[in-house]
Amino acid sequence: MRIKIKIAALVVSILVISGCSIDNSQPDEEMENSSMNQHMEEMHDMMEGHMSHDEVVPLNDSTGENELKIPAMLEPDNEEGIVYTVRAQKGKTEIFNGIETNTYGYNGSFLGPMLRFEKGDKVKIRTINELDEETTFHWHGLEVSAEADGGPHDAIQPGEEKVIEFEVTQEASTLWFHPHPHGKTAEQVYNGLAGLIYIEDDNSKSLGLPNDYGKNDIPLIFQDKTFDDKHQLNYKAAMNDDGTIGDTLLINGTLNPKLTVNKEKVRLRLLNGSNARNYTFKLNTGDSFVQIATDGGFLNEPVTLNEITLTPSERAEIVVDFLQLDTESDLALINEDGSILLPFEVSDENGVVSGIPGEMNDFSVTEEEMNLPVTKKVELFGMMDMVERNGKKFDPERIDFTQKQGVTEVWEIYNKPDMMGGMIHPFHIHGAQFKIVSRDGEAPPENERGWKDSISIKPDERVKIAIQFKHKGVYMFHCHILEHEDNGMMGQVKVE
């Protein structure tokens, strides 16, 4: 009953929205009955598919029968002047035993390799599109010129290639790369296009943190999928305009993964690489762990947590101390529903002894940044394919904001609730790392006091961020629920 009232109220509210800001080619007074009926039908269809967060299909437990795959570290080319080659390609992957699933990948059939950069590196990447459709190569979280950023303006046609160059000027962090073609991002990521970037610097190498890749420094790319009865990824069938959610979790492309670790501190680099699902990660024993890094760098000090929530595209580095945990009991990483995401098998071997330093970084939001006036306002609103940003849909021909290179501005992002209460929108800005100044006027939680490029924004929440762009050009800012992005919850800032 309550739901019916909510739906009725929502129909009215959406009719108002669609009359005035989306379907604005047709003035309200001329709206005929037929069009009204059509709107009602569209609304009905929309409600059927709308994903409220109480209704998210739970994930199947991992049986732990497959050892977690670790993405290969990409070797540089020997070719003069080109450091790396990254190819987007189609392939077949054995996700289920003895069955080939059609997938996309970078330099392989599914997902991509890890690219490791050092601060100060001058990098050239030859990007090649071997798909049958256009794509782009977007370096999520990397502070590069807009030409290298791989937004929707940089489409590479099938069979074509593009060389990009940039210098790594930012601090140690875990970033990632994925496609960003106009209106096609969600499907390409869903099919498997995503890879990791590790940036290291003098600080990260001197902190003594676990850094043996694949042994005690483990990347975890979380992606939920729906497989059809032929074990294929059928995006069109699975697609939900409000964010495509699946019941099957893959970590680094591994179905039913488990992770074998030594008795030591293990660093987990968590990446929510899902189209739309949020994850609250915890240990099944309720034990705590420490978070050491946000999207774009180390926290000043480790923050002890019992759980951490990541919305799509957010990252966090955490350290779990398997020397301190009771390894006799079953240990696993679980989510908010208690679904088993990743069982751990702890070997009898002691690993290396590593500490976690008390001081890791010197991040701060300055007094000046705190007092800057808000000069850009972003309002996120809507659901399904009726999402909008500041009352508009993305238009590649329209520049929404301009900002001066090297000048810090404070943006305020507001998630305007709808009659259904609204939903969390993960908000991402290209080409820069930013600082959270406040959430609803309060200082952000301790584990968000570090560089960010993506943030979760709850319904009715107002978040202020301080952002500076190092490079010029046109950058995207958008909701990272990939279907919302494809449906136009995106704008462009021109940095001059």
What residue ranges bind Cu ion (CB under 5 A)? 425, 479, 481, 484
Please report, to the nearest 10 degrees, the dihedral formed by the alpha carbons of residues 96, 97, 102, 107 taken in order: 100
Nearer to Cu ion, 316 or 479 (CB): 479
Longest dimension (CA), the chain: 75
Nearer to Cu ion, 319 or 387 (CB): 387
Q: CA-CA distance, 130 to 116, in Å (whole number)?
A: 23
| Residue 482 phi, psi dihedral angles, 5° rounding | -65, -30
Nearer to Cu ion, 254 or 311 (CB): 311
Smallest distance from Cu ion to CB 479, Å: 3
Nearer to Cu ion, 302 or 312 (CB): 312
- Whole-number Cα distances in Å, 263 to 268, 283, 288: 15, 16, 16
Three-state DSSP at 271 gives strand
Tokens standing for residue 409: 């501005």
Smallest distance from Cu ion to CB 488, Å: 11
Smallest distance from Cu ion to CB 458, Å: 12
List Cβ neighbours of 344 (8 Å cut-off, separation of 6 or more).
258, 259, 260, 261, 322, 331, 332, 333
Smallest distance from Cu ion to CB 423, Å: 7
Contact between 195 and 167 (Cβ < 8 Å)? no
Smallest distance from Cu ion to CB 278, Å: 11
Tokens standing for residue 376: 């850009």
Please identify the residue of the shown chain whose CB is closest to the bound Cu ion: 479
Three-state DSSP at 228 gives coil
Nearer to Cu ion, 422 or 473 (CB): 422
Smallest distance from Cu ion to CB 27, Å: 28
Contact between 76 and 265 (Cβ < 8 Å)? no
Nearer to Cu ion, 266 or 457 (CB): 457
